[in-house]
Structure 1
Amino acid sequence: MANPPRPLWRLTATEILPLLHSGQVTVTDYAKSLLERIQARNHVKAWVWLPPSLILHQAKALDDIPTDERTMLYGLPIGIKDIILTKDMPTQYNSRNYESEDPINADASCILTLRANQALIFGKTTTTEFASTKQGGWHQNLTSNVHDQSRTPGGSSSGSAAAVADFQVPVALGTQTGGSIVRPASYNGCYGFKPTHGAISREGIAQWCPTLDTCGFFARTVEDLELLSNAFRILDDEPVPSHPFDLRTAKIGFCNSYNWSKAGPGTVGAMAKARDLLRRHGAQIEEVELPNDFARVLDWHAIVLAGEGQTSFLGRYLAAQSLLHESIKGYVENHKHVRHADLLAAYDGVARLRPIFDNIAVGYDVIITPSVIDEAPVGLEDTGDMSMCSTWTILHVPAINIPGFAGAHGMPIGLTAVTARYRDRHLLHAAKAIGEVFEGEGGWKASNL
């Protein structure tokens, strides 16, 4: 086996894949390295189901594939949020009603895609109950932030973000209905990519709000996000330029969003520093103020959550009401008193806003906006405020958390880049160059890992 300059577990997906394809590193050896890393960092508690014997058995089967038959994601270990069906591992949804260790004999569509590309399904990562609760309901592991055990990792894709940021796997799948990819990515200091709504099939993934639910990725580099996007055939109509994104000719918008008044000093400082850094690298910076039509977008997001949650959770409520978290019961019992007229107004209102924002966004290479209120709060029961992300989720636009900044307590703070719908690859292309600046000069380093 070759001797890479760093431990195997530190390598990104883009770095390890050539070694796996060529046979310089076996899938088994790489899997063992990650399992050792997870054992050494077990206090993070990112995993709810991690079967070493199954992992190593599947790794050996991948090792036996001839070199000329190895495909795009050959041997790449991927963490899977535990609301996504996997035929060989149980899916428990962090619910007391699904504590069986017997797998449901079905793979979600996204898992079929990963297996077809010869990825190694590594284990199931923690989530809040049905990926819908903000507080409490932890029947599985109570995951901590990888940089401070007293702080939340965010949610609901808690374990996926923590596992990637902590070098336990190179990439992982998550989902976002409010801020469940972007927020934990910011809190833990990694990249989190929510593609355009519908870009990845959600068949086989627990449903909360079909209007909002989106499958996406966590990684430590944009290159790895591009790799996964290739596997899922996320493509723009207009090809991305073959040359690197040039900040010297870039036009970048900055949008504080309607709930800027909630921003803490860490986020305020990150936005100011980002403006300064990008200007110094030659970018043209413009402030973007959303029209007054967008003033109700957060209210509409909350209405859609409540209205569709009432439908999505009805079956689980009727089957096992006593086992559900109070917030889930509240959706079914309509504690927010959402009427059909309210839901229609939200649907129609946001439908009008989506093309308006698209037209604004195409005037810029990307728009930078906050990912979170501030650095991860102390305490593990509350996964933090999603409101900085919700606008972009309900607008269905692609969004990526870019790490690089630090809060008052030295915890990571990221910023989000967004663009128009179905310009996902253009967003990633720009995020790569912006991320190099933010990570290199933003002031936060994961030095303790």
Structure 2
Amino acid sequence: MEPYRLSATKALHLIQKNELTVEAYARSLLARIESREPTVQAWAYLYPEAVLEQARRLDKVPTEQRGPLHGIAIGVKDVIYTKDMPTEHNSPLYKDSHVPVDAASIAILRAAGALILGKTQTTEFASTTIGPKTINPHSLPPLPVRTPGGSSSGSGAAVADYHVPFALGTQTGGSIIRPGSFNGIYGFKPTWGAVSREGQKVYSLTLDTLGWYARSVEDLRMLAGVLGIKDDDVPRKLKGLKGAKFGLVKGPVWRLAGPGTINALEKAKALLQAHGATVHDVELPEEFSNMPDWHAKIMASDGRTTFLPEYLIDKTRLQTFLANQVENVNGWTHKQELAAFDGVASLRPVIDSIVDGFDALITPSVVDEAPLGNGSTGSAAFNGMWTALHTPVVNIPGFKGENGMPVGVSLVAARYKDEHLLEVAEVVGGVFEKEGGWKSAL
């Protein structure tokens, strides 16, 4: 197997046993990128010579001094500060912008020995649905081009296309889960506040969450451990699905679900039951019907102050959606915004109590498979509620839409049950990937 195809866990094992050098690993990844990047266009910044220099330095580190991610390559969404690379936010206002510090997440990863490969494409300020130039690697020409989702567009595509085993993203609405589904990979959004957001352009102080992608739950768990994810209680190991209990939540926007998502949720339920789990249809209390409106008002309220500096510098170089938030074109009052903040806060302990009756909730990740074109990154309608509720969420791949593109479903746990959720996701993912009907052709 070519090194670029290795999982992070397998690559680390070989590097630790001195059966693979970091430089050889990096060269394999860079060769894959060179052959695919002209079409996929996942990267905002990549300097191969700097990557190889970094790899050679890592190879010189004595074995006993190597960190838990020694030599493992990671892509970084281009809203997260990296002291040795530009951070441009896909905005003309920040072209060639350099910040001489690392974000907290990058500092932790460097200390763990990670190979920071480059910066991945994002929508402008990780905040709009107007896509960057990145193309879904499962629909490259001559197939009709489709979006990889957003705003973490490049991160999702880079992991799916074997450019890197890991990539960081951020989620304010659905920017981790949606690309995870569209690209047929695992996307993990931890509990809000479980990992530091210091050192990244923040859209919403109350919504933004750092997350990451991988092609296996084992790899998700590896990165979670390095970034300090830890439950209060040691999670119970699931040896299988027999006796497990799931709640199926369609949510307040189920009417938007397309055939790919309807089929995925039905098949997910059937597979869980066939493997001995019980699945209960869960109707959330009526108050949860307010969540889409409340999430939108919170984003608009936070966006109004977040993007005011850029608006004042030159509003003509800011996407209309962001300028409209600064100008409050919806005319929302502080009273309405307070009702949204307080309403969501009141429902967080409610959802915790509901989820705690199950091993996890299962719910849609997306409206349907990735839409055609890459001008729009698609709808986050099914994601905003969970982001606002601060719950951890994992996209589980394995299903497909009417055009053969991947469609995932989400598992949700109560707040600060992240390790538990990953344990459940590993067992569920093993079933869905094997029996769900979609297989990557990459």
Query: Which range, TM-score by smaller chain?
Result: over 0.9
Paired position in structure 2 for 1:144: 135
1:423-446 alpha-carbon deviations (Å, 9 max, x no partner): 000000000000000000000000
Match of 2:367 among 358, 373, 377: 373
Paired position in structure 2 for 1:358: 352
Aligned-partner residue type, residue 137 of structure 2:
V
1:337 Cα deviation after fit: 1.3
Q: Confirm whether residue 427 of structure 1 aligns to residue 438 of structure 2.
A: no
Q: For 2:382, what is the secondary structure of its paired residue?
A: helix
1:245 Cα deviation after fit: 4.1
Q: Partners of 1:89 and 1:320 in 2: how far apart?
A: 24
Paired position in structure 2 for 1:88: 84
Q: Confirm whether residue 64 of structure 1 aligns to residue 55 of structure 2.
A: no
1:290-318 alpha-carbon deviations (Å, 9 max, x no partner): 00011101100000111110010011111
Aligned-partner residue type, residue 285 of structure 2:
P
Q: Is the 8 A contact 1:22 1:67 kept in 2?
A: no
Paired position in structure 2 for 1:17: 12
Match of 1:407 among 398, 401, 425: 401
1:235-291 alpha-carbon deviations (Å, 9 max, x no partner): 0001113x4443101001111111101000000000111111110000011111100
Q: For 2:242, what is the secondary structure of its paired residue?
A: helix
1:22 Cα deviation after fit: 2.1
Q: Partners of 1:22 and 1:248 in 2: how far apart?
A: 37
Q: For 2:362, what is the secondary structure of its paired residue?
A: strand
Q: For 1:249, what is the secondary structure of its paired residue?
A: coil
1:21 Cα deviation after fit: 1.6
1:99 Cα deviation after fit: 1.1
- Tell me the TM-score normalised to structure 1 length: 0.96
Aligned-partner residue type, residue 249 of structure 1:
G
Q: Partners of 2:301 and 2:41 in 1: how far apart?
A: 33
Q: Confirm whether residue 108 of structure 1 aligns to residue 99 of structure 2.
A: no
Q: For 1:172, what is the secondary structure of its paired residue?
A: strand
Paired position in structure 1 for 2:259: 265
Q: For 1:209, what is the secondary structure of its paired residue?
A: coil
Query: 1:237-276 maps to which residues of 2 (within 5 A)?
Result: 237-241=232-236, 243-276=237-270
Aligned-partner residue type, residue 365 of structure 2:
S
Paired position in structure 2 for 1:321: 315
Q: For 1:134, what is the secondary structure of its paired residue?
A: coil
Q: Is the 8 A contact 1:28 1:63 kept in 2?
A: yes
Q: For 1:61, what is the secondary structure of its paired residue?
A: helix
Q: Confirm whether residue 198 of structure 1 aligns to residue 193 of structure 2.
A: yes
Q: Is the 8 A contact 1:245 1:429 kept in 2?
A: no
1:378 Cα deviation after fit: 0.2
Structure 1 residues 144-153 or 179-188, which shifts more? 144-153
Q: Confirm whether residue 52 of structure 1 aligns to residue 52 of structure 2.
A: no
Q: Confirm whether residue 154 of structure 1 aligns to residue 149 of structure 2.
A: yes
1:208-252 alpha-carbon deviations (Å, 9 max, x no partner): 1111000011000000000001001100001113x4443101001
1:36 Cα deviation after fit: 0.4
Aligned-partner residue type, residue 249 of structure 2:
C
Paired position in structure 2 for 1:119: 114
Q: Partners of 1:77 and 1:275 in 2: how far apart?
A: 35
Match of 2:214 among 199, 214, 219: 219
1:130-157 alpha-carbon deviations (Å, 9 max, x no partner): 0011126x4xxx0000101310110000
Q: Partners of 1:277 and 1:217 in 2: how far apart?
A: 26
Q: For 1:388, what is the secondary structure of its paired residue?
A: coil
1:104 Cα deviation after fit: 1.5
Q: For 1:60, what is the secondary structure of its paired residue?
A: helix
Q: For 2:398, what is the secondary structure of its paired residue?
A: strand
Aligned-partner residue type, residue 158 of structure 2:
A
- Over the aligned positions, Cα root-mean-square deviation in angstroms equals 0.8
Q: Partners of 1:190 and 1:384 in 2: how far apart?
A: 17
Q: For 2:61, what is the secondary structure of its paired residue?
A: coil
Paired position in structure 1 for 2:169: 174
Q: How many residues are treated as equivalent by the alignment?
A: 437
Paired position in structure 2 for 1:293: 287
1:56 Cα deviation after fit: 0.4
Q: Partners of 2:269 and 2:94 in 1: how far apart?
A: 47
Q: Confirm whether residue 74 of structure 1 aligns to residue 70 of structure 2.
A: yes
Q: Partners of 2:89 and 2:251 in 1: how far apart?
A: 32
Match of 2:391 among 365, 389, 397: 397
Q: Partners of 2:440 and 2:367 in 1: how far apart?
A: 21
Tell me, which stretches of 5 or more residues in structure 1 are unaligned? 1-5
Q: For 1:218, what is the secondary structure of its paired residue?
A: strand
Aligned-partner residue type, residue 428 of structure 1:
L
Tell me, which stretches of 5 or more residues in structure 2 are unaligned? none
Aligned-partner residue type, residue 381 of structure 1:
G
Q: Partners of 2:434 and 2:330 in 1: how far apart?
A: 45
Paired position in structure 2 for 1:34: 29
1:169 Cα deviation after fit: 0.2
1:103 Cα deviation after fit: 2.6
